[in-house]
Amino acid sequence: MISSDSDKTTVTHNETIKEAIPTLAGTIAATLADPAADRFSEDDTQFLKFHGVYQQDDRDLRKTGKKYIFMVRMRLPGGVLTPAQYLVCDDLATRHGNASLRVTSRQSLQFHGLVKTGLGPLMKGLHGALLSTLAACGDVNRNVVAPPTPATNGVGIQVHALAREIALAVAPRTKAYHSIWLEGVQLDLNDPANKDFTDPLYGKIYLPRKFKIGFAIPPLNDVDVLTNCLGFIAIADAQGGLLGFNLAAGGGMGRSHGNEETFPRVADVIGFVTPDQVVQAAKAVITIHRDFGSRTNRKHARLKYIIADRGPAWFREELERRLGFRLEEARPFKFDRQGDAFGWHEQANGKFFVGLFVETGRIKDTEGRQLKTALRRVVERFLPEIRLTPANNVMLAEIAPNNRAAITHLLGEHGVDVERQGSILRRASMACVALPTCGLALAESERYLPDLITRLEGALAEVGLPGEEITIRMTGCPNGCARPYMAEIGFVGKAPGRYQIYLGGNEASTRLNRLWKDNVKESDIVGELRPLFAQFAAERVAGERFGDWTARTLWSEGAPV
């Protein structure tokens, strides 16, 4: 169903090709089978996203001609991997990618640096481990995120079960994924069964844009739940039993420079649903996005714009109409922090987990820290459950108490010191991938942020604030994959070597920051922030965080923002 603001003459090209080939097959299989082809057509690059694949090129090499490479992203509800699955991913990254794994901001893994001939073997290898990339990207629901910390009570177990149930319930039903990647067969696009295929949830043309679902368990907001299109906030009783969820809708980070119609937004809390209503509610919200999202302007096609334009009251009424029942009123809750647990911690079942810092999310070996090798050897020997976090880190769980010392020693042999995993400022940072692989990047991020953190630590020490925790997030473009608009300090790439600086997010990750400086050279960033750090050190009230101080000081009436 095309929304009322669209018609056949004005819909975007993406809508046209989805309607023409609703199986999402394109000519992907034919191109895979062609040894002379090193890339896919422009239309097929859009279809590839639904299969979890992005066609890219190494931007460091553009002066000598484009070298086409590919990124593959898994769909991994809740970010949980078995030991065997992780070892398969590690092996596939070494054999077909650039020998690194990237933990994403939605609890998944990305493989970078593949060439076309490696796509088929990698996809078959993932399938053999009961893993999938279908719907990791594209105009469908993306990976469902859930709290990464191992359960301390039954609520956590139920939440992860529901995350997996929703992911399965809203997955697209096209046969093209298996046909292309497992059978190597190009679907006959003229076959009526393929030409007229209609997905039972998404319809023939799927969603106007991507859709994101997240679960959170207060008081810890470790998934940034209010940045999702649809969030489920767990509500427990006094005994720790799960009563249900507050349903929040309309969050999202993406925006475009110079386009005031695009903006980041935190979700509105709409009402309360019981656990048995969660899947039905998720499907209903997705269909609202499907039916009312813009098909004519992809930059204004997210669910957040529907709710911003029509209002939360309209959204609730429309959701209740589709559900066939009224939502209960939202229950009281409070988030007081976000972030991951590092080091050793005991689980509710008496076993232990260890949280490991992965700087900018890149699992790789460097001269001083062989993290990729260390993880592989720990997983091979001790068989822990692997949990990926939305903050780009890794947790190893379900570890017997008597194995703690041996794991600590093995990690230490590879330069991974469990007790000293980077500074507090570094552990609170995030960066998107950006250059050299992301085609949208305007500036550096993953490769630049570690050095910037070092310089910012120096500036903080100079003003008497060594060891101060400040959430810092950087992206190479305004799309916001590392959620910079929720950080106490957010850096957003605007041009090569230039960034916007946003200030004022909070520890609970429930408040948007605001633009402070619009076009700052990377060489000037520390100089711009140092006076602010000094003022903060002099004026803060006891226990006040930098984000709260900047919001109080810079957002006050008449203050520049």
pLDDT < 50 positions in the chain: 1-8, 558-561
CA angle 417, 421, 423 (to 5 degrees): 145
Distance CA 407, CA 32 (A): 42
Number of CB atoms found within 10 A of residue 239's CB: 7
Please say if 521 is a catalytic residue.
Answer: no
Helix extents (H) in 414-448: 424-427
What confidence score (pLDDT) does residue 70 get?
98
Please say if 364 is a catalytic residue.
Answer: no
Please say if 195 is a catalytic residue.
Answer: no
Token couple for 213: 């679902």
User: Which of these is catalytic: 18, 49, 73, 427?
Assistant: 73
SS3 460: helix
96: Cβ contacts below 8 Å, ≥ 6 apart:
111, 114, 118, 121, 122
**Alpha carbon distance, N-terminus to C-terminus of the chain:** 42
C-beta separation of 394 from 148 below 8 A: no
User: Which of these is catalytic: 432, 483, 494, 511?
Assistant: 432
C-beta separation of 536 from 468 below 8 A: no
Closest by CA position to 418, among listed 471, 380, 375, 382: 375
Share of the chain above pLDDT 90, in %: 94
Residue entry with tokens 């609703």: 22
Q: What domains, with CATH codes, occur in the chain?
A: 426-554 (3.30.413.10)
What confidence score (pLDDT) does residue 9 get?
56
Closest by CA position to 264, among listed 321, 305, 204: 305
CA distances in angstroms from 215 to 102, 158, 212, 224, 273, listed in the order given: 22, 11, 11, 9, 13
Per residue in 424-474, pLDDT tens?
A: 999 999 999 999 999 999 999 999 999 999 999 999 999 999 999 999 999
User: Which of these is catalytic: 89, 137, 229, 477?
Assistant: 477
What confidence score (pLDDT) does residue 36 get?
95
Please say if 481 is a catalytic residue.
Answer: yes
Name the helix (H) or strand (E) containing 110: strand 109-114
Q: DSSP string covering 356-421, please?
A: E--GGGEE-B-SS-BHHHHHHHHHHHH--EEEE-TTS-EEEEEE-GGGHHHHHHHHHHTT--TT--
Residue entry with tokens 């993953």: 446
What confidence score (pLDDT) does residue 1 get?
37
What confidence score (pLDDT) does residue 238 get?
87
User: Which of these is catalytic: 18, 116, 210, 426?
Assistant: 210
What confidence score (pLDDT) does residue 555 get?
84
Please say if 229 is a catalytic residue.
Answer: no
Please say if 175 is a catalytic residue.
Answer: no
Please say if 212 is a catalytic residue.
Answer: yes
User: Which of these is catalytic: 75, 255, 481, 511?
Assistant: 481
User: Which of these is catalytic: 18, 75, 106, 142?
Assistant: 142
C-beta separation of 426 from 359 below 8 A: yes
User: Which of these is catalytic: 75, 102, 116, 212?
Assistant: 212
User: Which of these is catalytic: 265, 438, 473, 483?
Assistant: 438
C-beta separation of 27 from 186 below 8 A: yes
C-beta separation of 203 from 174 below 8 A: no
Long-range pairs, 189-197, Cβ under 8 A, ≥24: 189/21, 189/23, 189/25, 194/22, 194/23, 194/25, 195/22, 196/22, 197/22, 197/23
